[in-house]
Amino acid sequence: QVQVVESGGGLVQAGGSLRLSCAASGLTVRGYAMGWFRQAPGKERELVAAISWSGGSTGYADSAKGRFTISRDNAKNTLSLQMNSLKPEDTAVYYCAAKISENGNTWYAYVASYDYWGQGTQVTVSS
């Protein structure tokens, strides 16, 4: 049984930082790409950042470039998102997702590409 569990959300002032973590368990395949998405009220779920199975290739939404950093530790089956210089418009529920993929250098940008999702963690940035 596959489980994807996020943690680390919370309330922070604009300009502050948060670090989100994601733990994936039950994945018996050799490799999987991962990503962080977010969904604000009344909006569609959107990509924040994604990373390949090897960790060697990453992609970011324009809104995240220069402020957020995605990383993974395959030995621990964990994914992280370091978020700096947070803005009120970053307020959303943040989701971790995993896609079965043995391609070590491909990350995936689309919601429909992913196979497993966490329940989400709320990030609120006050002005």
75 Cα distance to chain centroid: 18
d(CA 72, CA 51): 8
Count of C-beta atoms within a 10 Å radius of residue 5: 13
Q: Is the pLDDT of residue 28 over 90?
A: no
Model confidence pLDDT, tens digit, residues 80-122: 999 999 999 999 999 999 999 878 799 999 999 999 999 999 9
- How many residues can be counted in the chain? 127
DSSP per residue, 25-54: ES--SS-EEEEEEEE-TTS--EEEEEE-SS
